[in-house]
Structure 1
Amino acid sequence: MYNTNKLKDLVTIQYGKNQKAVEDNENGKVPILGTGGTIGYATNFLYDKPSVLIGRKGTIDKIRYVDFPFWTIDTLFYTEINQKLVIPQYLYYKLLEINFKNLNEGTTIPSLRTQTLYELELDIDSIDKQNKIVNILSLIDKKIEYNMHTNNNLYEIMRLKFNEWIDNLEDYELSNLSSIANYKNGLAMQKYRPENEIGLPVIKIKEMNSGISAETERCKSDIDPEVIINNGDVLFAWSGTLCMTIWDSGKAGLNQHIFKVTSDKYPKWFYYFWTLKHLDKFIQIAAGKATTMGHIKRGELDFSEVLIPSSEELNKMNQIMSPMLDKYIENKLENKTLEQLRDT
């Protein structure tokens, strides 16, 4: 059995505050939280009980559960929860079911109002059942967190090993990015809207960074196979916000301004980390463009130096790097599955 409650019966929504009076990044221990995560540290807390944080302006669709003392800035709501009616972590799982973008009341900047949030209706189980649900879902969250922590370490190890390796290469040939991989640009997917089918999600820079959402556009499924991406594909956004990722959200269509990077000659870690090594340079080039959208030209790939080691040296390093990258991708895919299971 459950009771239907409005959010105003379960929580008091509070506004974050300006952090200038308490911010001390050298001595502060309390995280200062914004919609994008931790932005600094404070010497005092704004609230020290379990809370669900909801974006007020900007990123409004990424709620967060915290169970430690914190400070939030004014773009982020925090909640004082009536724990006689609802367990804080259970409330977090219930709110994950809400598409907060549908509640947006901003014009230029996505925004939420307390009045609208308070009217949300939630089916709340008994405290006993809430505990059981939290015990199960928290195990999933712990596994997700463990995988993320493992991947952060794996990524840093791979990056450091790669840089150390190339810095100490003695036997190599000079080449460039264009010669070690194929950089396939996506299509202007507005020209390939699906007809009489659901089609494929269209991956733009937003989806690269935040994943597929209800707002993600769709394209035909019978587009050029070379611009269809699958799990494990390397993506490199060369216009706008230049960035890289290894895709983990299933079959999709690649939009223009993003390269799918592949190679028949070299292992994935090799062309991924060589591209990454030049990324800061590409970002500087794009920032210097006198256009509204910074970008690089394909020719920059030809001018980006790559050291090609001997086959023996490459195979030796491949035995170290490939298993780590495979595990990194495996963890990313497992987390996607776990998130879907948790949020269902």
Structure 2
Amino acid sequence: MNSGRDYKQLNSGNIPVYGTGGYMLSVNDKLSDTDAVGIGRKGTIDKPLYLKAPFWTVDTLFYCTSKENSDVKFIYLLFQIINWKRYDESTGVPSLSKNTISNIKTYVPKIKEQDYISKLFFSLDNTLQLHERKCEELTLIKKALLQKLFPKKDKDRPEVRYKNFSDAWEQRKLGEYANYRRGSFPQPYGKKEWYGGHSAMPFVQVVDVDDNLKLVNDTKQKISKLAQPKSVFVPAGKVIVTLQGSIGRVAVTQYPAYADRTIMIFENYKFPTYEYFWAYVIKQKFEIEKLKAPGGTIKTITKEALSNFKVFMPIYEEQKKVGDFFQQLDSLIALHQRKLEKLKQLKKFLLQNMFI
């Protein structure tokens, strides 16, 4: 186990400096000529880092080099399965000492098996990183396209249009455009009869509205048959938006459910409207308006304030073109996110089953 050092006396260069949170900057000197594993001395003590030589570490990050008949990549994997918080020596900021780390007992195979295992996991990590980058790139592309395919502030036309569409988007107050209402739930909330049982249905609260224009697969609560007439039913395919707490989460419901009073449901529209396009209009509008919401820790937007929100809408045919495009893009992002999650689960499974 080796200690990191202060880097402030060094000049800028191309040697990376690492702290417990990862890369910090680059300098003109190094602490090690061989690859090592970084582990926090203070602060973040449970996030081991693989440090490719040459490198420098600050004094809050130990770096561990391998001895004879030990593969440093295998050591990095061992460090990932150790419960470091169990060895925390402080009552305040989490801390580890060299002595504590050095005395942790573990099992290791012969060097040849270490090599096989580390190659497997490093290959898996490379695949994980590729999928993470793909997800990040798609998210950035989506963000850029939202700015191009929807009008900017105080504009009535987007920068980029589909062929044969050139008319200005029409501005209307939200209350003039759509019919909507808040959800409901019988009081008191904690009454046992209102939850579960035979014929219980999903009950949507703020926590059940995900960030991908969908509801979570399984709502936190189920509303009982007795309570359902006292709530508000939402068919599949309706746009909803959260009005309290995490304001502005939007979903197009993928299954029928009942909704809490913190949820606004768009029941129908006074003009031809494509639901998936409308979901994006509302989401972008709330990104601006939620910053103005009154309240302290828990903010809220009233139905009355909502009715005065101004939105720009094109004709239905253009709505459908844009809405379908973003629906396909969202599906592609979700596909890569699912692949990424499966790879993470695979790595977790293998770490649990290939080590003692």
Instruction: Give the TM-score normalised by structure 2.
Output: 0.61
Maintained 8 Å contact 2:276/2:323: no
Aligned to 1:143: 127
Q: Could you list the per-position Cα deviations for residues 28-56 of structure 1 after superposition, in whole angstroms to 9, with x for gaps in the alignment?
A: 33332222232323233333421111122
Offset at residue 257 of structure 1 (A): 4.9
Aligned to 2:276: 266
- Aligned partner of residue 133 in structure 1, secondary structure: helix
The aligned amino acid for 2:328 is: P
For 2:49 and 2:140, the matched residues in 1 are separated by 25
- Aligned partner of residue 160 in structure 1, secondary structure: helix
Maintained 8 Å contact 2:277/2:322: no
Offset at residue 271 of structure 1 (A): 6.5
Unaligned runs of 5+ in 1: 1-11, 185-190, 193-221, 236-244
For 1:181 and 1:72, the matched residues in 2 are separated by 57
The aligned amino acid for 1:91 is: I
Unaligned runs of 5+ in 2: 159-167, 184-189, 192-199, 222-243, 254-274, 350-356
For 1:68 and 1:276, the matched residues in 2 are separated by 47
Residue 21 of structure 2 is aligned to residue 21 of structure 1: no
Aligned to 1:111: 95
- Aligned partner of residue 25 in structure 2, secondary structure: strand
Offset at residue 135 of structure 1 (A): 2.2
Maintained 8 Å contact 1:35/1:62: yes
Alignment of 1:44-193 (within 5 A): 44-82=29-67, 84-166=68-150, 167=152, 168-169=157-158, 170-174=168-172
Pick from 330, 341, 352: which aligns with 1:325?
Answer: 330
For 2:147 and 2:108, the matched residues in 1 are separated by 52
Instruction: Give the TM-score normalised by structure 1.
Output: 0.63
- Aligned partner of residue 317 in structure 1, secondary structure: helix
Offset at residue 295 of structure 1 (A): 5.9
Maintained 8 Å contact 1:32/1:72: yes
- Aligned partner of residue 81 in structure 2, secondary structure: coil
From the superposition, tell whether residues 160 and 75 of structure 1 become closer, same or farther in structure 2 (CA, over 3 Å): same
For 1:132 and 1:296, the matched residues in 2 are separated by 54
Maintained 8 Å contact 1:57/1:109: yes
Q: Give the strand-richer structure, 1 or 2.
A: 1
The aligned amino acid for 1:263 is: V
- Aligned partner of residue 123 in structure 1, secondary structure: coil
Identical positions, percent: 22
From the superposition, tell whether residues 130 and 91 of structure 1 become closer, same or farther in structure 2 (CA, over 3 Å): same
Offset at residue 251 of structure 1 (A): 6.0
Offset at residue 141 of structure 1 (A): 0.9
From the superposition, tell whether residues 34 and 93 of structure 1 become closer, same or farther in structure 2 (CA, over 3 Å): same
From the superposition, tell whether residues 138 and 175 of structure 1 become closer, same or farther in structure 2 (CA, over 3 Å): farther
Maintained 8 Å contact 2:15/2:28: yes
Aligned to 1:339: 344
For 1:44 and 1:180, the matched residues in 2 are separated by 66
Maintained 8 Å contact 2:250/2:279: no
The aligned amino acid for 2:25 is: G
Offset at residue 68 of structure 1 (A): 3.9
The aligned amino acid for 1:111 is: S
Maintained 8 Å contact 2:202/2:218: no
For 2:50 and 2:218, the matched residues in 1 are separated by 30
From the superposition, tell whether residues 175 and 45 of structure 1 become closer, same or farther in structure 2 (CA, over 3 Å): farther
Q: Could you list the per-position Cα deviations for residues 100-134 of structure 1 after superposition, in whole angstroms to 9, with x for gaps in the alignment?
A: 22222232322222222222122111111112112
Maintained 8 Å contact 1:52/1:79: yes
- Alignment RMSD, CA only? 4.2
Offset at residue 154 of structure 1 (A): 0.9
